[in-house]
Amino acid sequence: MSAVAGRIAGTVRPDILALAAYPVAHAEGCIKLDAMECPYELPEAVRDDLARTLRDTPLNRYPAADLSELQAAVKTAFGVPAGADVLFGNGSDELIHIAVQACCNPGDVVLSPWPSFVYFDMAARFDHARFVGVPLASDLSLDLPAMLAAIGEHQPKVVFLAVPNNPTGGAWSEADMAAIIAAAPGLVVVDEAYQPFTDRSWMPQVLAAPNVVVMRTVSKIGLAGLRFGYLAGHPGWIAELNKVRPPYNLDVLTQAALLTVLRHKSVLDEQAARLRADREPLAAALAALPGVRVFPSAANFVLARFSGKLDGNAVHLALKTRKILVRNFSNAHPLLADCLRISVGTPAENAALLSALQDILSA
């Protein structure tokens, strides 16, 4: 072992040494349906507006302390109720850390239905909390009795509820969510990353219970490259969470770009509506393929199980060979055996995917 390797092995936490870094696939020249991005680029007029704004954004100073203009724009654009405050993060990934760091002593429990967004587990572990994933039912619906029992047993400081859920696409009922919120002794973070693709939101009632914040991101509505997420909730919660926010976490270019794009918010809404409209035809076409089961989705992706002639790993590989990227969950969790998560793309991308799958499954 080299001197560096020896020093690393003796210094870095064993659980970190055992991990692999978050996987991001190389996508050059591929049809990219693996990361729930919006496949549409911003229109020319918005990009011109961005170019003008960014040209005049000074880079020599740290970001200003006063974020009130952006806060007002975000509240208006995304329907944050009067009386709630917002906290901004470098993507909602950072906000997940902030919630855990603010609430959990080492060993405290972070809990979520499972499988769900993998970063809930990762962030909890990085931040020395203990992650408890409560298995979904075999049809990937929420197991409310199991959730309530686990909350009673583990008394979690933080519960993450992704609604709609990633990677399954399901949206938990309001009654189930209310029961979880009522039972949770600590903070419940309702993660609405995929809310733009549904009619429902917890946002209007974010102030109704004493222990809820709603987290959103702009990543799924056309701005994944910006790295911007926000938490909305009672000013008391936001003030505490703000204390662990890294200083200057939102750079000036992101702030300026977001303010500019929000002046064209209808463009983002139209793109989301288009993806939502294209979701059901894609799901139906996938479900019509031999040996394919599609789970109900309220998001901008669908989860499909391949249990015909080829299993999930084989289909994933065959698609990759054809330069079509989807996310393989076959080996991630027993409930996701042979499952691939497929983002809704442009109509041309969806057609290319379906034609490739027809080919692969009939070979």
Ligand X SMILES: Cc1ncc(COP(=O)(O)O)c(C=O)c1O
Nearer to ligand X, 200 or 322 (CB): 200
Tokens of 265: 């918010």
SS3 state at 182: helix
Listed in sequence order, the DSSP H helices in 110-245 are: 118-126, 144-154, 174-183, 235-242
Q: x/- site string to ligand X, residues 144 to 163, per CB under 6 A?
A: ------------------x-
> Minimum CB separation from ligand X for residue 325, in Å?
15
Using CA atoms, how far apart are residues 341 and 242, in angstroms rounded to an integer? 34
Using CB under 6 A, pick the residue from 34, 93, 121, 349 that binds ligand X. Answer: 93
- Which of the residues 215 through 244 are near ligand X (CB under 6 A)? 217, 219, 224, 229
Using CB under 6 A, pick the residue from 78, 85, 92, 222 that binds ligand X. Answer: 92
> Minimum CB separation from ligand X for residue 159, in Å?
14
CA distances from 172 to 176, 178, 196, 256 (A): 7, 10, 15, 35
Strand order in the sheet with 327-328: 292-294, 301-306, 339-343, 327-328
Tokens of 34: 């693996």
Tokens of 338: 């042979």
Pairing of strands 187-191, 212-217: parallel
> Minimum CB separation from ligand X for residue 268, in Å?
14
Would you give the distance in Å from CA 328 to the centre of its chain? 16
Kindly write down the DSSP assignment for every residue of 53-96, as one continuous string: HHHT---SSPPPS--HHHHHHHHHHHTPPTT-EEEEESHHHHHH
- Which of the residues 336 through 355 are near ligand X (CB under 6 A)? none
Nearer to ligand X, 162 or 324 (CB): 162
In 3D space, the residue among 346, 266, 337, 261 whose CA is nearest the CA of residue 300 turns out to be 346
Nearer to ligand X, 165 or 356 (CB): 165
Which of the stretches 91-99, 122-130, 181-189, 355-363 binds ligand X when contact is defined by CB under 6 A? 91-99
Question: How would you label 71-93 residue by residue, b for 16+ Cβ within 10 Å and e otherwise?
Answer: bebbbebbebeeebbbbbbbbbb
* Residue 312 interacting with ligand X (CB under 6 A): no
> Minimum CB separation from ligand X for residue 290, in Å?
30
> Minimum CB separation from ligand X for residue 200, in Å?
15
> Minimum CB separation from ligand X for residue 216, in Å?
8
State the sign of the Cα–Cα–Cα–Cα dihedral 29, 35, 38, 41.
negative
Nearer to ligand X, 99 or 282 (CB): 99
Which of the stretches 70-78, 85-93, 170-178, 197-205 binds ligand X when contact is defined by CB under 6 A? 85-93
Which of the stretches 69-77, 90-98, 250-258, 317-325 binds ligand X when contact is defined by CB under 6 A? 90-98
* Residue 168 interacting with ligand X (CB under 6 A): no
Using CB under 6 A, pick the residue from 127, 158, 166, 339 that binds ligand X. Answer: 166
- Tell me which residue has tokens 């790295």: 227
- Which of the residues 21 through 40 are near ligand X (CB under 6 A)? 36
> Minimum CB separation from ligand X for residue 333, in Å?
15
* Residue 328 interacting with ligand X (CB under 6 A): no
> Minimum CB separation from ligand X for residue 60, in Å?
28
Using CA atoms, how far apart are residues 58 and 252, in angstroms rounded to an integer? 8
Which of the stretches 42-50, 52-60, 86-94, 235-243 binds ligand X when contact is defined by CB under 6 A? 86-94
The amino acid present at 101, given as its one-letter code, is Q
Binding residues vs ligand X (CB under 6 A) = 36, 91-93, 117, 162, 166, 191, 193, 217, 219, 224, 229
